Structure 1
Amino acid sequence: MPPRLVGKLEVNTELGSFLGDTRIRLLEAIEQHGSISQAAKHVPLSYKTAWDAVDAMNNLAEQPLVERVAGGRQGGGTRLTDHGRSMVALYRAVELEYQAALDRLAAQAHEAEGGAHSVRSFQQLLRRMAFRTSARNQLACTVSGLREGEVDYEIYLRLDERTELKAVITRESAQTLGLAIGMQVLALIKSSSVLLMTDPDQRISADNQLWGTVARLHEGPVNSEVKIDIGGGRTVIAVITHDSVQHLGLAEGSTVAAVFQASNVILLVLG
């Protein structure tokens, strides 16, 4: 009997993958239970991992997949948007065809020269192509401007109609990426590179300031994680010291800006 190829389907935008098996099961559990905490237990995932996954999906999707529901006797909850339900239905429909195609490919490879070895080689290739990043913040952007310098390139990135980011990379990196106006990219920013500011009149040298409200505050004995809702279903994560949280007087609902240098933005071009 030939070895079976069992693939993990990923749904991609032009910016790369943002839906996979675990996230789909999380979305289905949110739809069923109306709660992130209950959905996380069902998958299972930690509560924090579940929220991080929801934030990442909402940041990468054209429209938010998950939304909060306020009020009511139950005190509100979480539910899928119409777009979220469509994505789940699309995934499950394509998944059936995808597995059928893999079954046919495995059978053909086994019959061809090399047999089972060909299938295992194909599996190894797929694993090597998998993409991972440690950057907590991944924002889908469109290149809106390029300014060439003697050493560096200034890259302007349109996040939405009202927000533009700036990145600075070397000339060699810009040429390697083949950047052009209108190109779709991912802007990656490590959470430790994000500073927070509460005074709009404060003068700082950082190029990027994304204003929003504190959506979640997870305080630790030394460092704290702050999730900032910047609108449009997008969020930014910052990790700052516990003392900084106290000094800024941060709490859920506080108005705050996520601040980071253009040099701390890493660009990713997929495809």
Structure 2
Amino acid sequence: MNPFGQHRFLARLAIESDVGTALSDTRIRLLEEIERKGSISQAAKAVPLSYKAAWDAIDALNNLAPEPLVVRVTGGRQGGGTQLTGYGRRIVAMYRALELEYQAALDRLAERLDDVGPASIKEFQALMQRMSMKTSARNQFSGPITGLRDGGVDYEVRLRLDPATEIVAVITKASAENLGLAIGKEVHALVKSSSVLLMTDAELQITARNRLWGEVAAIHAGSVNDEVTIALPSGRTVTAVVTHGSCEALGLAIGVPACAIFKASSVILASWE
């Protein structure tokens, strides 16, 4: 007898590829709604997601992908909006095609559950829960390793985000060995928004290794702190959490050039293998 009765496994696909694990059913539906409506606010309502959650998802997708999936457009008869790139449309089509294959595989599995005991199913469910780990780090990037320097007790790791941008991480030698780091290997980089500082003075001398220049794309005001998103020339973004006073002192506003700064020791690396 099927231990799940008449219930059917439903596919909820999460793809681990060049865009990491952020490509989920919810985010694919968000992309599809953006394609239909050309508006982030209308797409967010249709999913449904909050407006901020929708933009956070888009920022994460653009940061993890080799090229942007979504772009902001200005002008035109409707005054601008948001649209998918050609790459974004291909990703959506690929996801839906894989989902169909995934569902077919689950249907075949359900037909063979007569030979699987309830205990084995519970063990499998527990394993899936452990493997579906999420992270609270606001900034997530992926790219190939372009440099490795052995410092004795630690390793300096260079990660290329795009042709014009690299970031540097410093991790322990044991961590580097555990991750199996090598030149060309794709890795995931995480940076908490609280670890990111902002500056607007290009002449300011600082010791932080990572300095990413762009323009202020969004400011979300809180009761004490503001969340500031910097859009890089590549379309990727970096988000920092700073005080109201700091925002005012720096004169931060939409379109103002600014630099996101974070120490190499603030970068956490992860590998899919």
Question: Which bracket does the TM-score occupy, shorter chain normalised?
Answer: over 0.9
The offset of 1:117, in angstroms, is 4.2
Q: 1:245-264 counterparts in 2 under 5 A?
A: 245-264=247-266
- What is the alpha-carbon distance in structure 1 between the residues aligned to residue 137 and residue 202 of structure 2? 27
The answer to whether the 8 Å contact 1:137/1:191 transfers is yes
Write the deviation string for residues 242-264 of structure 1: whole angstroms up to 9, x where unpaired: 10000000000000000000000
Residue 26 of structure 1 is aligned with which of 27, 30, 34?
30
Runs of 4+ in 1 over 6 A off after TM superposition: none
Q: 1:1-271 counterparts in 2 under 5 A?
A: 2=2, 3=4, 4-14=8-18, 16-108=20-112, 110-114=113-117, 116-271=118-273
Write the deviation string for residues 177-223 of structure 1: whole angstroms up to 9, x where unpaired: 11111111111100000000100110011111000000111122310
The offset of 1:125, in angstroms, is 2.1
Aligned partner of residue 241 in structure 2, secondary structure: strand
The answer to whether the 8 Å contact 1:192/1:238 transfers is yes
The answer to whether the 8 Å contact 1:5/1:123 transfers is no
| Bigger mean CA offset, 162-171 vs 49-58 | 162-171
Aligned partner of residue 145 in structure 1, secondary structure: strand
Alignment coverage as a number of residue pairs: 269
| Bigger mean CA offset, 252-261 vs 26-35 | 26-35
Counterpart amino acid of 2:256?
A: S
The offset of 1:106, in angstroms, is 2.1
The answer to whether the 8 Å contact 2:155/2:172 transfers is yes
Counterpart amino acid of 1:42?
A: A
Structure 1 alignment gaps of length 5 or more: none
Counterpart amino acid of 1:214?
A: V
Write the deviation string for residues 39-93 of structure 1: whole angstroms up to 9, x where unpaired: 1111110111000000111111122111111102322000111111111112222
Write the deviation string for residues 125-144 of structure 1: whole angstroms up to 9, x where unpaired: 22221131110101112111
TM-score (norm 2): 0.94
The answer to whether the 8 Å contact 1:15/1:185 transfers is no
Aligned partner of residue 89 in structure 2, secondary structure: helix
Aligned partner of residue 144 in structure 2, secondary structure: strand
The answer to whether the 8 Å contact 1:67/1:79 transfers is yes
Q: Flag the 1:48–1:113 CA change in 2: closer, same or farther, 3 A.
A: closer
| Bigger mean CA offset, 27-36 vs 149-158 | 149-158
The offset of 1:12, in angstroms, is 2.5
Structure 2 alignment gaps of length 5 or more: none
TM-score (norm 1): 0.94
The offset of 1:11, in angstroms, is 2.4
Aligned partner of residue 188 in structure 2, secondary structure: strand
Aligned partner of residue 227 in structure 1, secondary structure: strand
Aligned partner of residue 62 in structure 1, secondary structure: coil
The offset of 1:20, in angstroms, is 1.0
- What is the alpha-carbon distance in structure 1 between the residues aligned to residue 93 and residue 169 of structure 2? 36
TM-align CA RMSD: 1.5
- What is the alpha-carbon distance in structure 1 between the residues aligned to residue 169 and residue 65 of structure 2? 22
